[in-house]
Chains A and B, each alone.
Chain A
Amino acid sequence: GAGVSQSPSNKVTEKGKDVELRCDPISGHTALYWYRQSLGQGLEFLIYFQGNSAPDKSGLPSDRFSAERTGGSVSTLTIQRTQQEDSAVYLCASSLEGTLNQPQHFGDGTRLSIL
């Protein structure tokens, strides 16, 4: 289908390693969002892209977290020097426009486990 695609679906890594998570939004969607979901919890907003720019980075938990988007399409979320508290499901969503009245379309997430 033509939904939001995230890779990898699962990632297990050792504490201190860097990880890179990828999101392919729906074609033509200009807005892209990253969220973090801890076990049994709601979604924590991380960062939002409109095109290639990130007007809102307020949710990034620390300077170990960064994200970029190129070509107005694919986005990568990078976590440097991972810690055990980074273990969570990282969800990506896209919407047609970054406006308030558009639903967001989610990928199935990357389940990140830090040993």
Chain B
Amino acid sequence: SQQGEEDPQALSIQEGENATMNCSYKTSINNLQWYRQNSGRGLVHLILIRSNEREKHSGRLRVTLDTSKKSSSLLITASRAADTASYFCATAQNTDKLIFGTGTRLQVFP
């Protein structure tokens, strides 16, 4: 069963705009991770945020985590056409496996 649900399912924006994707989950977690998947490829790890962290940055990426609301958001600033991909959140509970959400398909138009 899916732990995370991403919102929106699909997002289309122009280059230069910011893209925000949200993830909600159901049970307590140890950490939450975001991954990107280009069409026909495997997933690439973007960022990991632990349950005791509230915000994390990596380049043009900003991730927030609200454990009280069981939600996270991924913000991509100044988007580029190369950011076009599907983005997945994944939660780690108290086991060694990740539970992935259903993904957000991002399309950035040049």
Name A's B-contacting residues (CB within 8 A). Answer: 4, 31, 33, 35, 41-43, 45, 48, 50, 55-56, 59, 91, 93, 98-101, 103-109
Contacts and interface: CB of A to CB of B under 8 A. Distances in A.
B96 A42 contact: no
Nearest to A106: B42
Contacts of A50: 96
A45 B92 CA distance: 12
B106 to A, nearest CB: 14
Interface of B: 2, 4, 30-31, 33, 35, 40-45, 48, 50, 88, 90, 92, 94-103
A56 B42 contact: no
A105 B96 contact: no
Contacts of B99: 45
6 tightest A-B CB contacts, nearest first: A106-B42, A103-B45, A43-B100, A98-B96, A42-B102, A106-B43
Contacts of B35: 106
